[in-house]
Amino acid sequence: MLVKFHCHSKKLKDDYGPASVPISQGWLALVLSEILGDNKTQNLKGTTHPQPERVKNQVDYHNASTATQILNQLATAVVKLATVQSGYDPASGDKVPLSDFLSLEPFVTALKNLNKKSPPKFDAADSASATLKGIKALAELCSEDGACQKRIADLGALSLSRRILLGDDYEKLAAIEAYDASRIREVQDKNVSTSNDSSNDATTDPSSVRVPPAAHIRRHAGRLVTILSLLPNSKKAIISDDVWCKWLEECASGRVPCNDLKLKSYCRLTLLNVFCSENPNTGGTPDEYPDSESEYKRKCPQFGDALFLLNPELPLEVHLDNNGHEISREKCKDDCYIEEDGDSETGSSVNAPDNASKCARPLIDVVFIHGLRGGPFNSWRIADDKSSTTKAGLVESIDEDAGKEGTCWPREWLAADFPQARLLTVKYKTNLTQWTGASLPLQEVSSMLLRKLIAAGIGSRPVVFVTHSMGGLVVKQMLYQAKLNNYDKFLNNTSGLVCICLVILSNICET
């Protein structure tokens, strides 16, 4: 049923715009329901029961439990928005809009629970919030599960993410609500002037219409696309879509209004993954550690979840490793991998030739690793109180462009001081207690990050780690595991370690 729905939904969504939001939301809900159902089936068929003491199992259980709750919220949002958009009155006894669609699980339960005495109160912000939670839950479930990634790609998650990134359905929904509210307010004002009644309904005030979190939805849709961009079929789908490729490039380079640093990084990483594909004859990299002989044998780096570029606006060629080549879309379309002839005249480069020639390949990587309750960008921002940081006008002038979040100093300062350095930052969960969700222990966090860094080519050239708090311990554990696995190149190319506000073991930086 879901496969058939996937085949017809793209045209419907393109034709009807914001009116088709219940369909796209329903699509997301069905994909999420399928993945949760697959997880339950695998647990029932498993020969061994998961060990509850393993933290990884606790994380998976927490993600599945959270996704189940979000699925119910998303299904309710689909039903409510469908009834609101159609003007359906539950007490009328008329046929429910989209009745065939809403008769499916998980919508049928939400439809039964619909209050039949009064129409539901629902707006674009509520609908967008449910979509945001659904996209986040889907990404969390599949971020480290290759089978799950392939499954949701087959179910159309890539097309759905494209619609979210390139569309503006929720902004249009909010605009429609504001317009309707203004029309109602005009009628009420006329009635008030006639009856001398000064009472006003706040719900009809256009200024009371809430702004949907559309930017956050795009950010997490971008994350999901980056995760899926490592799949061969997803690479082909993105490469063959000129409109999408153009939007990804313009967002990453800042040529369109795209101020979210994470989204810009996701766009650049997606382009790197799809336009510099591995030769199919070389094979892939296993999920666990590769052996020491194949440590850096891949021709193109693979950027998965947890990695971000601090300067994503730079052209694709800058972010390739030392074995990188001119990126040609024609070669990618024909062969699905980049040839090693280095000829830039045989295909049309994604970036202009003059831009590519002016950008030297990086000589060093600088990787920022945050600490407890930190983030890939938030941990590296200057204080909100600019007067306490410097009396010079430099910081203040920079922050006028950086926005209320403050300046991400590695991006604003180091990129200019070290133009031949590639700047990256990583993320990992660091919940202090399980009240805010389960997280991996230090050993597994370090193992995960080491695997992703090596896959991205980090360590193939000199690398310096800049760490804050627990980040220093993470790097220490990474180096220890690299030693155990004979990753000599990674160890030998680790040229520096900068520790900021180390919690314990202050001699960790002594090398």
Give pLDDT tens digits for 277-287. Answer: 555 444 444 44
**Parallel, antiparallel, or unpaired for β 421-426 and 364-369?**
parallel
264 vs 129: CA distance, rounded Å: 22
Tally of CA atoms within 13 A in the half-sphere of 478 that contains its CB:
25
User: Which tokens belong to 371?
Assistant: 């600490």
In this predicted structure, what is the pLDDT of residue 393? 43
User: DSSP letter at 368?
Assistant: E
Give 261: exposed, middle or buried? Use CB within 10 Å, 0-12, 13-18, 19+.
buried
Q: Which helix (H) or strand (E) holds 465?
A: strand 463-468
Q: What is the mean pLDDT of residues 96-110?
A: 87
With cut-offs at 50, 70 and 90, classify the pLDDT of residue 36.
Answer: very high
Has residue 227 got a pLDDT over 90?
Answer: yes
Q: Residues 6 or more apart from 287 whose CB is under 8 A from it?
A: 146
Query: How many other C-beta atoms lie within 10 A of the C-beta of residue 465?
Result: 26
Confidence at 404, pLDDT banded by 50, 70, 90: low
Nearest to 487, CA basis, from 443, 508, 457, 509: 457
Residues 6+ apart with CB under 8 A from 492: none
pLDDT exceeds 90 at position 392: no
Q: Is the predicted pLDDT of residue 223 greater than 60, yes or no? A: yes
Reported confidence tier of residue 207, pLDDT bands at 50, 70, 90: low
Nearest to 225 by CA among 140, 157, 148: 157
| DSSP states along 469-485 | THHHHHHHHHHHHHHHT
342's torsion region: left (phi>0), alpha (psi -120 to 50) or beta? left
Confirm if 338 and 328 have CB atoms less than 8 A apart. Answer: yes
Taken as a whole, the chain contains a residue count of 511
- Mean pLDDT computed over 36-47: 73
- Give residue 347's pLDDT band: very low, low, confident or very high (50, 70, 90): very low
Kindly indicate the confidence band of residue 432, based on its pLDDT and cuts at 50, 70 and 90: low
Q: Which of 482, 382, 467 is nearest to 426 (CA)?
A: 467
